Structure 1
Amino acid sequence: MSRPWPQALNFSSGRKVLDIQFDDGRRFAIPFETLRVESPSAEVQGHGPGQKKTVTGKANVLITQADPVGRYAVRLVFDDGHDSGIFTWDYLYALGEASAA
């Protein structure tokens, strides 16, 4: 089975969520705060097991820019200056599933 592929991304600053739709029919509304505190960057995740940093105070964070990275990901820029996380489609799908649970 092929991996789910994004069909649409909509950044809603008013609701502070990324609405993302995949070609398997799943739709997710991932809060900007979740995207920021779960950023796949080394700054947040660390460089190895047990090094993840707890990021707090991001309830009102906004996304100011989204840049495609090849055909497999998007780099998100947050209004607090964080811009080093590359969010793969698989990672966004997993965050969407976790947010929906």
Structure 2
Amino acid sequence: MSEQHKPIGVQLHSRSRQLELEYAGGARYSLSCEFLRVYSPSAEVLGHGSGQEVLQTGKINVAITAIKPVGNYALQLVFDDDHDSGLYSWRYLYELCQDQDAKWQDYLARLEKAGAGRDPDVQVLNLGA
């Protein structure tokens, strides 16, 4: 693991539901709890191989309730929807920071294609063209 991928600071902002990561050199990134939840590196989300990913829906209000360091290489994030099985390696967190905009747009496009939504209390109807 390259030391450039390890943050020098990790701070959870509970009210705004943002995880802030600070890296050497002063770079700072904020990742929403929703973004981190829908891109969890767990088998529940990724499946067990390419093409087996499970689209996460209704996670707009999800929050992180605990952050647990795992050795010197990862964080375990515990979400208030009882999801806690993904280990976020330093490299994966850095990748999420770097590719946040593209990944978010991809997620929104996949939701739209599936006729699903971010809000668990709102039903989305995709009536097609």
Give the TM-score normalised by structure 2.
0.73
Tell me which stretches of 4 or more aligned residues in structure 1 moved more than 4 Å: none
Runs of at least 5 residues in structure 2 that lack an aligned partner in the other structure: 103-129
Percentage of pairs with the same residue: 47
**Matching residue of 2:76:** 75
Give distance in 2, aligned partners of 1:20 and 1:5.
Answer: 9
**Matching residue of 1:90:** 91
Give distance in 2, aligned partners of 1:79 and 1:2.
Answer: 30
- Give matches, 1:39-54, under 5 Å: 39-54=40-55
Give distance in 2, aligned partners of 1:18 and 1:3.
Answer: 18
Classify the secondary structure of the residue corresponding to 2:8: strand
Q: Which amino acid aligns with 2:23?
A: F
Q: Root-mean-square deviation (CA), in Å?
A: 1.5
Give distance in 1, aligned partners of 2:83 and 2:6.
Answer: 26
State the shift of 1:23 in Å.
1.4
Count of aligned pairs between the two proteins: 101
* Greater strand fraction, Structure 1 or Structure 2: 1
Higher RCO (CA-CA < 8 Å; seq separation 6+):
1
Give distance in 2, aligned partners of 1:78 and 1:53.
Answer: 17
**Matching residue of 1:12:** 13
